């Protein structure tokens, strides 16, 4: 069931991002590492697997990246994915931790990843 849910999210997430035509940046459908972060934020935001994926993404991309905008993108798109999963008959519509707590956690992890990466 878990693998089916992840596969379903992997197939539908780019569609959700493309359907939302806003001025906010959206996840590049070819950026699989950011998609992984979004899936984990939807399904396992409190687990070490999410922490590791987000930290690695920040280390690899922080040059020229708007960290706050990326955090908002992850929170928003993972919320959409979570709601869509529920609409298809599986899972809860709320993530395991509140959005505000997820933002704070992501900001702290990003700051640590950037500091560790150093100049």
Over the stretch 20-52, which tens digit does the pLDDT of each residue have? 444 444 445 447 899 999 999 998 999 999 999
Structure tokens belonging to residue 24: 């906010």
More confident position, 118 or 18: 118
Average pLDDT (54-76) is: 95
d(CA 103, CA 28): 20
> Which residues, in sequence order, are CB contacts of 79 under 8 Å at separation 6+?
42, 95, 99
- Distances from the Cα of 24 to the Cαs of 40, 67, 95, 115, in angstroms? 21, 13, 22, 27
Percent of the chain with pLDDT over 70: 66
DSSP 99: H
pLDDT tier at 5 (50, 70, 90 boundaries)? low
């Amino acid at each position: 069931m878990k693998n089916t849910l992840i596969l379903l999210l992997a197939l539908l997430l780019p569609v959700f991002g493309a359907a939302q035509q806003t001025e906010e940046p959206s996840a590049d459908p070819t950026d699989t590492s950011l998609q992984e972060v979004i899936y984990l934020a939807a399904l396992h935001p409190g687990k070490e697997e999410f922490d590791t994926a987000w930290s690695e993404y920040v280390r690899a991309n922080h040059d020229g990246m708007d960290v706050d905008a990326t955090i908002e993108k992850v929170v928003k798109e993972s919320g959409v994915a979570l709601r869509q999963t529920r609409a298809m008959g599986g899972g809860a519509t709320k993530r395991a931790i509140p959005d505000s707590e997820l933002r704070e956690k992501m900001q702290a992890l990003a700051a640590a990843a950037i500091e560790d990466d150093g100049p």
